[in-house]
Each structure stands twice: as structure tokens, then as C-alpha cells.
Chains A and B, each alone.
Chain A
């Protein structure tokens, strides 16, 4: 009977903490955690904010990166090179002594596999993982599945550059007759996407930032170390938000794959500039700094 009362107590406090973290508006199943938190510490969590650490990892090379195709929401796996990259990312995090408490990722396997590799390397396979479409790569509309060079040959370098690197001009839409429309993928079944769908970096940010504020920020304010394994554009959205980066600058910013990017945040979630940070970011990359600089230059060369 005592055990039952204790269980009821724990359930009540756990439920309260979960409601604080996940907004109903995200309409996703609360996959988070079954953490039985005594009620006293639950109250404390609401009252005081703490400093925290946020680790961002862009997924490793995918099979379509290799094939130089516009990927977006297409669910391609990591390439063999990508699989190696993410093991190294995990090793770097382990060596750094950073220990994530909770992880977030997208609904796409290249990010999930990246996260799994990091969790395996750091021996943290048991931490709660939250998966959300809001952390997906930017949707590439009617360009998804097309070869990048062929698209340049067809539309011209300038037009493709606009679609790829403009802040707010999206590629052409897809409608519900296209296999690339999310209504045709069961993983998005419980969400309502408009008849026509495509995304720019701007609209990507408009779905990343609220998700961050509603689900990730509260965990950081509790002092948790958060790991996010995501994509080029969803991470651009995040760092733009964290570091207040301008629209024209963010569109050109390259975040190298499989390279952990570490932010230390104060209790207001303002980044504390890290030594060795590469402007305009205030976070620092883990690993060989020269090699990282070279790679940042390399991503620019994918369409000429």
C-alpha cells in the first residue's frame, strides 16, 4: 500500500514535469522519458534556471551526398564514410568529458543513425531520445531526388544557387500527388501539411525555433546537457537563433558533417563565447581545428 502511494506520488510529479516540457501544439507522442522524479525536485525545476551545455552534430555523409542529389526529406541512410564520421564524433564527445542527459533528433534515419553512433560510443544508449519532424532537414520541394549538376544544367547556376542559398526563396512546391509530399509518408500521418509543400531556410527556421523553445529550452534551463543530431539547415536555424546571425550570413554558413559543435549557455540561454570559436558562431567545434576549417571551405564547392 505504501508502494502504491509512492508510485502515485511519482506518477503525479513525472506527469507535471512532462507537461512542462512538451507542448500539445507539437502533436507528437511524448516519447521522452519515464523518469520518476520526487515531487520536491520537480518544484525546484520550475523555480531556478541553470547554466547548460548544448552539443550539435550534423549527420555524417549520406548516400545521396555521394550521388550529389537534392535530398531534403528523402530518407537516405549514411554512406560508409558517414558511418565512420559519426563514430569519430562520438569519440570526440566522449574524450571531451561532456555527458549528454537527453537527446533530440529528426525523423530521418541519417540523423537518427548519427545519434545512435554517438550514444553507442559514449555508452549512453539509455538516455531519453525525442524525435521530431521539426528538426528535419529543409524540405527541397520539387527538387528532391534530382541530381544537383543536372539541375544546374537545366535551370542555370544562378537559379539553383538562389534555391540553395537564398534565405527566403524556396524551391518549387510539391503537391499531394508527389511521393515527396509528407502526406504520402506514414511517419507524418498525424500532422497536417498544406496541399503544396516546400521550404526555404526562413520557413525551416519558423518550425525549428518554436520546437526548440517549447521542448529543448526547458531542459537546458534545468541544467541538462542536451545533444541534438540534425541536419545542415535545421542546425543553421538553431545557431542563427542562438547567435543572432544575419539572414545573408546564415545562408552562406557551412556546418561540417559529423563534427560536434559545443555551446555553453548561461541561465538565460545566451551563449557564453567559447575559446576557438569560428565566427559568426560562438560555439566551438571538437576535433582537429585545421581540418575543420578546410572542410568548412569544401562544402561550398558542390555546385559550380
Chain B
């Protein structure tokens, strides 16, 4: 397995040596069909109408904007060109992730695979900040406090009220969820705590049984997942930016340990598909949203 992967990488390298000098660095992770490992692909949903307006979204069900739809389509094309296929997809109950998934599956001609929607893959709940403009919140509470709420590992924003439209108990899509599990706010840690059961009970077993899995989800649930896969510390994970719409490919062994990919951008050991310079630039850009 290692030999064939090495041959593949060497042949990719030799092809790029003949490419025109004007071409940008473009590396795509090797096609998984050559490897015996289990393939897991993660995609963060594209830009939503609320990202545009710079509003804290959380569990609010904002739709993708046109740019976000384009990002999903581009992600789908990269997966299609890379020769990927999937047996099952997991996503949240929020439409920006679901639509991202639908667009990708349509592009890959895989609309027929089963999709599992779970609230446990939802974005982190932003408590009483949901619906508030990010810059206004900074003006009101100060940059430092907002930074703590946004980037701390375990300090959640203030709770939303039970009468609020943002309290999940008032939304029919959570009618079957145990009330005790419904958050009024979440930190990244709490997000991780409620995400991990679906990974352990549903997704990991599916991967172990040989299914090729695609997860279309949100910034913080994907952070929770890669923290677990790559053993990332709490301090590091709170700063990690996963670019939107870019497929992130993991190869896992039979025990679901990550087989590190050469193109992994630390601390991740999975590799993004697409133009690597562009991706690195985008990872930097997300940090600029509150000053």
C-alpha cells in the first residue's frame, strides 16, 4: 500500500515538473482508490446569508447565499475530479449544511445515497448572541469579551431565554430531542460533548463497516471532530479555521487512527483538496471577522 502510494506521489510530482511555470501550485491529495484505508471526507458549509450580514448564527437556520452555493459546487467538482464516491452522508438539521450536501451530491451524481440528519452535527449554539450583529456586539461588550465568547474553548456566551425564538425547545425540528439535551448556549467544549455520541454510535461504526462517509457540517462541529481525530489541544483547536466548501480528506486505518497525509496543513493530518496556496490564504482570512 505504501509503495503504490509512493509511486503515485512520485508520478504526480513528475507531471507538475512539466507544467507551465505560470501555473499556480496545485496539489490534490492522491485518489483514495489506490489506498486500502477508510476514507472520510469533511466539508464545512459555504457562506450563508448571515455570514454576509456578519450576524452570529449558531442554530438559526440561515440559508446559503449565492457565494456559498458556488463554494459547495466547487467542492463537489473537486470530489468528482478526485474520483471520490460515498455510501452515506451525515449532516445537521440546518439548511446551510443540508443544501451544501445536496449540491455536492448532485455534482457527484450521488443523489441516491442515504443522508442522515442529526442535530448533533449542528453548529455551536450561540446563546443570547444569536441574531446579533458581530460588530455591534463588540461595540457593546468590548473586543476582548467577544473574543472570549468566540474563541475560548469552554466559556459559552450568555444563555438565550426560554421564550426566545432561538431556544431549540420552541422549534419543532427538535421535538423528539430530550429537553435536557437542548442547549441555551454552547462553548466549543459543550459542542464537542454533544457531538461525540453520534460519532461513536453512528458514524465511526459506519466507517468501520466499510462505508465511505461524507460529513457536511459546520465550523465548530468539524473542529470537534478533527480535534478528536488529530489529537489537537483545546488551546489550538479554538484558533483553528476550517475553510468553507473545501473538502478535507482523511484516510483512517481499521482502528480509525488517522494515516497522516503529506499535504496535511498542521495541526491537521488530513488534506484539503484544491489549490493549496489559495487554501492557506483563506485559513488566514476567517480570523479577520471581528477586530
Stretch at the interface among A32-40, A59-67, A137-145, A270-278: A32-40
Asked whether A36 lies within 8 Å of B181 as measured between CB atoms, the reply is yes
Chain B: minimal CB distance from A97 (Å): 14
Stretch at the interface among B108-116, B135-143, B153-161: B108-116
State the majority secondary structure of interface residues on A.
loop
Q: Does B120 contact A (CB under 8 A)?
A: yes
Query: In which size bucket is the chain A interface?
Result: 20 to 34
Chain A: minimal CB distance from B5 (Å): 24
Q: Does A107 contact B (CB under 8 A)?
A: yes
Q: Does A234 contact B (CB under 8 A)?
A: no
Chain B residues lying within 8 Å of A38, measured Cβ to Cβ, are: 178
With A34-B118, A108-B112, A109-B106 known to touch, is A6 a contact of B180 (CB < 8 Å)?
yes
Stretch at the interface among B195-203, B237-245, B273-281: B195-203
Q: Does A131 contact B (CB under 8 A)?
A: yes
Q: How many A-B residue pairs have CB under 8 A?
A: 68
Of residues A34, A38, A99, A123, which shows the largest number of chain B Cβ atoms within 10 Å of its Cβ?
A34
Asked whether A126 lies within 8 Å of B120 as measured between CB atoms, the reply is no
Compute how far the CA of A184 lies from the CA of B114 in the bound complex, rounded to whole angstroms: 20
With A126-B95, A126-B98 known to touch, is A107 a contact of B112 (CB < 8 Å)?
yes
Compute how far the CA of A206 lies from the CA of B212 in the bound complex, rounded to whole angstroms: 32
With A7-B197, A33-B117, A34-B116 known to touch, is A125 a contact of B176 (CB < 8 Å)?
no
Chain A: minimal CB distance from B115 (Å): 6
Q: Does B99 contact A (CB under 8 A)?
A: yes
Chain B residues lying within 8 Å of A112, measured Cβ to Cβ, are: 111-112
Q: Does B252 contact A (CB under 8 A)?
A: no
Compute how far the CA of A157 lies from the CA of B56 in the bound complex, rounded to whole angstroms: 63
Q: Which residue on chain B has the smallest CB distance to residue A188?
A: B112
Asked whether A34 lies within 8 Å of B112 as measured between CB atoms, the reply is no
Chain B residues lying within 8 Å of A128, measured Cβ to Cβ, are: 117
Q: Does B177 contact A (CB under 8 A)?
A: yes
Chain B: minimal CB distance from A232 (Å): 19
Q: Does A187 contact B (CB under 8 A)?
A: yes
Q: Which residue on chain B has the smallest CB distance to residue A38?
A: B178
Q: Which residue on chain B has the smallest CB distance to residue A124?
A: B173
Asked whether A129 lies within 8 Å of B115 as measured between CB atoms, the reply is yes
Give the contacting residue for B115; candidates A31, A35, A36, A109; CB below 8 A.
A31
With A7-B197, A11-B201, A38-B178 known to touch, is A31 a contact of B116 (CB < 8 Å)?
yes
Asked whether A116 lies within 8 Å of B102 as measured between CB atoms, the reply is yes
Asked whether B197 lies within 8 Å of A31 as measured between CB atoms, the reply is no
Chain A residues lying within 8 Å of B115, measured Cβ to Cβ, are: 31, 129
Q: Does A113 contact B (CB under 8 A)?
A: yes
Compute how far the CA of A37 lies from the CA of B176 in the bound complex, rounded to whole angstroms: 6
Give the contacting residue for A109; candidates B112, B172, B173; CB below 8 A.
B112
Chain A residues lying within 8 Å of B197, measured Cβ to Cβ, are: 7
Chain A: minimal CB distance from B16 (Å): 31
Q: Does B94 contact A (CB under 8 A)?
A: yes
Chain B residues lying within 8 Å of A31, measured Cβ to Cβ, are: 88, 114-116
Compute how far the CA of A129 lies from the CA of B113 in the bound complex, rounded to whole angstroms: 11
Q: Which residue on chain A has the smallest CB distance to residue B93?
A: A126
Chain B: minimal CB distance from A188 (Å): 10
Compute how far the CA of A35 lies from the CA of B173 in the bound complex, rounded to whole angstroms: 10
With A31-B88, A34-B202 known to touch, is A126 a contact of B114 (CB < 8 Å)?
no
With A7-B197, A34-B117 known to touch, is A109 a contact of B111 (CB < 8 Å)?
yes
Chain A residues lying within 8 Å of B92, measured Cβ to Cβ, are: 126
Q: Which of B210-250 contact A (CB under 8 A)?
A: 211
Q: Which of A35-50 contact B (CB under 8 A)?
A: 35-38
Q: Which residue on chain B has the smallest CB distance to residue A185?
A: B112
Asked whether B88 lies within 8 Å of A34 as measured between CB atoms, the reply is no
Asked whether B114 lies within 8 Å of A131 as measured between CB atoms, the reply is yes
Compute how far the CA of A158 lies from the CA of B143 in the bound complex, rounded to whole angstroms: 79
Q: Which residue on chain A has the smallest CB distance to residue B180?
A: A6
> C-beta contact mask, B147-187 vs A, less than 8 Å → 1, else 0?
00000000000000000000000001100111011000000
Q: Does A29 contact B (CB under 8 A)?
A: yes
Instruction: Show 9 residue pairs from A and B whose CB-CB distance is below 8 angstroms, ordered by the A residue.
Output: A28-B114, A36-B176, A109-B112, A123-B95, A126-B92, A126-B93, A126-B94, A130-B114, A187-B113
14 further interface pairs, Cβ-Cβ under 8 Å (given A6-B180, A131-B113):
A10-B178, A11-B201, A31-B88, A34-B120, A34-B198, A34-B202, A99-B172, A108-B112, A109-B106, A112-B111, A113-B111, A125-B99, A129-B115, A130-B114
Give 5 closest A-B pairs by Cβ, nearest first.
Answer: A31-B114, A126-B93, A107-B112, A35-B176, A34-B118
